Chains A and B, each alone.
Chain A
Amino acid sequence: MSQFGKAFWIRLAILTLVGIFTLPPLSPPAVAKDLKIGAIFPLSGRGATWGMAAQKAITVKQKEVNAKGGIKVGGDTYKLEILWEDDKYNAAAGRMAAEKLVNRDRVKFILGSQSSAVILAVQPITEPGKILFLVNSYAKEVLSPDKPYTFRMVLTSNEILQGMYPWMSKTYPELKAVAFIEPNDASGWSIEKDCRRMAEQNKYQVIFSQFYERGTSDFYPLLNKMIAAKPDFVDFSGAPPGDQALIVKQMRELGYKGKTFSSTTMDPAEFCKIAGVQNAEGHISNTHDLLGAYTTEGQKKYYDGYIAVYGKPFDPVTPKYQVYLDVLLQALEKAGTLDTTKVMETMEKTEEWQTIFGPSKFGGKEHYGIKRQIVTPVYISEISQGNLINRGTMMPVLP
C-alpha cells in the first residue's frame, strides 16, 4: 500500500487534468513588435557540441542587434526573440519541435538543424506553410527545386572539399592514394560519397574506404587493414571530433606516417588532448583561426562580441553559425517585409552578401537544382606543435 494518502493522489490527479486542459494551448505572452524566430538544434545528447555552438553564435548576434534597438523591416522596428527547441539529433523530436514552433508559436522563420533526418522530417511542415527554413546538415536531398523555402547556411562537404582537395593536390603533389574512414551513419555515408567524387575529380586514387560501427573506440582492426593498403593520406571527414582524435592517435601508434585530413571544423585544444600533441602534428582541417591571418573586421568584431557575452575561451566552432541570423536579418531589411515569399525571393535575387567571412553568395543551381546553398570561404589550417596554423583560403565555385 502506498504511503501517500488518498488526498495526495486526488490532488495529483486534479493537477494533471488541469494541466492537460490548460497548459498546452498557452503561448508565451506576446510583446508588441517582437520578431519571433524559431531555432531547432541538438541542444542535448550527441551533436550538442554543434547545437550549443550554434546557440552561442546566434545569441551573440541577437544581443548585438537588440542592443541597437532591433532591426528595421519596412517601417517597423522589431526586437529579436529566438525560440530555442532541442531536437536531440533525432527526427521525431525535431518534428515535434517544428510542430510547436509553427503551429503554436506561429513563427515564420526557423534556423536549424544539424541532422539531415530532422530537416527531412520537418520540411513537410515548413514548405507547405511557406516557412523560411535556414538549415545545416550535409545531405544533398535537403535542397531541391520543390523545396524553395529551404536555404542551407553552412558549407557542406561538397563545397568544402571542392576547395580543399585541389589545394592538397597543389600543395602536396607527391600524395596520390587516399583512404576514407567514416562512421556508419547518415552523415558518414553522405560525406563518403562527396569525398569519393572530389577525390576522383582531383585524380586521387581511392584505395581504401571503410565504415565503422558508431560507438567504436578501438580502431586497431580497421587501421591495421588501412595501413596495409599504404595510403598517402587519410580522410575521415565524417567522423565526430572525438573519434577523429582517437583515429589519429591509434594510427600513429600503429606506425602510420602519412598525412591526416578532415574537411570538418574542430577544436584544436581538445583534439590534441585526446590524440596527443605529437600524433596530431600536421593534421589538415577546415578550421579557421579567427585571429590569425585572413581575419576580417567582421570576424574581429564577432570575436569581441563573443568574449563579451561568454568570456574566454573562444569556441572556434561557432563563427560559421553566426551567418544564419546575419544573412536572414539582412534579407529582412532588404525585402522590407516579413512576408516569407518576398523574403525568399530577395534571398534568391541578391547577388552578394556581406558576412563576417567577407563577400558571400548563394549558388547551387547546377548541383542541387536550385540556388539555395550559401558559398563562404573555405579555410585550411594545419596543426603544428599543438597550435593551429592557417594555410590557405579559397571560395568554392558553385554554379
Chain B
Amino acid sequence: MGKRGAGLLILLLALVAVPTFTQDPYLLNILITTGIWTTSVWGVRVIMSTGQLTLGHAAYMAIGAYASTLLTMKAGLSFWLAFPLAGLISSVVALLIGYPTLRIKGVYFAIITFAFAEIVRLLIVHWPSLLGGYGGIPNVPPPSPIFSISFKSRIPFYYLILALCLVTYLVMVRIDRGRIGKIFSSIHESDTLAESVGINIMRYKVLSFCIGCFFAGLSGSFYAHYFNFTSPEFFTIWQSVYCLVFVIVGGAGSVWGPLLGSFFMTLVPELLRVARELEPVIYAVILIAVMFLLPGGLVTLPARLRGKKVH
C-alpha cells in the first residue's frame, strides 16, 4: 500500500469517524459545504489541466441544481435518479457549448465561459414560470430515504458528500495517472506539439470540459437538495470566480489542490468571524499572497518546507 496510501486511509477513517465524536450540526455544515465546493472545484481543475481557464463554472452548477430540482419536483423522479441525471445534463450542455467554443484559445475562451454563465443566469431569471425567477425555487425536497436511511438530519448528508468526494477523488486520480491525464497535460504543455503526434486535441479538450462540468452539475444538485432551495443568486459571477480562486490557492498541479483550497478558503472566514465584511478582501489578499509567495498553491507547502525547489 505504501506510505501514501496508508496516510490516505487514515484520513478517510478520520473523516468517517467525525460524526461519532461530534454531532454539532454547525461543524457538519462547514464540512458539507466544503465538500460541495471541493467536488465542483475538482471539476475546474480537470478543465484547467488542458490549459483552458473557465470563468463560468457556476453556470454548470446552476444547471445541475435546477435540473435535479425540476426532475424531483415536477417530474416526480427520485433524488437518486435525478442526481446523476443532473450531472449528465450539465455535461451534455458542456458538450454542446464546448464543441464550438473550445477551438478558441486562451483568454477568448475564458470570456466565452463568462458570457455563457451570465446568459444562463439571465435565462433562469427570465423564465419565472418554470424556474422561479429571482425568488428561486423553495421547498426543494431532501433526498428520499435509501437503505432505510432518511435525510432528516445532517449526518446522512455528511456521509453522502463524503462518498461523493471519495468517488470524485478516485476518478480524478485515475484520470491524472492514466493515459487521459497524460494527454491532458501534453495538450496543456503545447497543443501544437500534441497535435503533431496525432492527438485529436479538440476531442480531449471537450472531454475534459464535459468531465469538469459533470462534477459541477453533481455539486449543484447536492447544493439544492441540501439547502432545500435554489436561486440564481447562488450561481453568480462571484461563485465562478471563487471556484477559480479555490483551485489556485490550493494548487492546480495536484489532486489535493482543490481539497486544500476549498477547505482553507471556507475555514478562514469562519475563523475570522469578527471581520465579516472583510471576506472579499481576505480572499483577495490570500489569492495575491499565494500567487507571490506560494505559486503552485498550498499543495506545494510541504515540498517547500522540505527545502525542495518548486516551480
Contact = CB atoms under 8 A, between A and B. Distances in A.
A–B: direct contact at CB < 8 Å: yes
A85 B279 CA distance: 13
A24 B233 CA distance: 27
Q: Give the dominant DSSP class at A's interface.
A: helix
Interface string A105-145: 00000000000110011011000000000000001010000
Interface string B76-114: 000000000000000000000000000000000000000
A86 B276 contact: yes
A45 B135 contact: no
Contacts of B283: none
A188 B135 CA distance: 10
Contact of B135 (A86, A123, A190): A190
Interface stretch (A93-101, A290-298, A358-366, A383-391): A93-101
A120 B229 contact: yes
B227 A121 contact: yes
Contacts, number: 92
Contact of B229 (A44, A96, A124): A124
A2 B310 CA distance: 10
B227 A24 contact: no
B257 to A, nearest CB: 16
A284 to B, nearest CB: 27
B29 A120 contact: no
A120 B138 contact: yes
- Report the interface size class on chain B: 20 to 34
Contacts of A45: 277
A91 B227 CA distance: 10
A189 B13 CA distance: 49
A312 interface: no
Contacts of B15: none
A2 B294 contact: yes
B113 to A, nearest CB: 21
A55 to B, nearest CB: 13
Interface string A163-201: 000000000000000000000111011100000000000
B39 interface: no
B293 interface: yes
A145 to B, nearest CB: 13
A104 B138 CA distance: 25
Contacts of B271: 19, 23-24
Nearest to B228: A124
Contacts of A4: 293
A24 B27 contact: yes
B195 interface: no
B134 A186 contact: yes
A189 B135 contact: yes
A103 B277 contact: no
A32 interface: no
Interface in B54-84: none
B286 interface: no
A213 to B, nearest CB: 9
Given A24-B30, A25-B27, A185-B134, A9 B304 contact: yes
Contacts of B276: 43-44, 85-86, 88
A31 interface: no
B136 A120 contact: yes
A246 to B, nearest CB: 22
24 contacts: A1-B304, A2-B294, A6-B305, A6-B307, A9-B301, A9-B304, A24-B27, A25-B24, A25-B27, A88-B276, A92-B227, A96-B29, A96-B33, A99-B29, A103-B26, A104-B24, A117-B231, A120-B136, A120-B231, A121-B229, A121-B231, A124-B227, A141-B135, A186-B133
Interface of B: 22, 24-27, 29-30, 33, 125, 128, 133-136, 138, 227-229, 231, 233-234, 267, 270-271, 276-277, 279, 293-294, 301, 304-305, 307, 309
Interface of A: 1-2, 4, 6, 9-10, 13, 19-20, 23-25, 43-45, 85-86, 88, 90-92, 95-96, 99-100, 103-104, 116-117, 120-121, 123-124, 139, 141, 184-186, 188-190
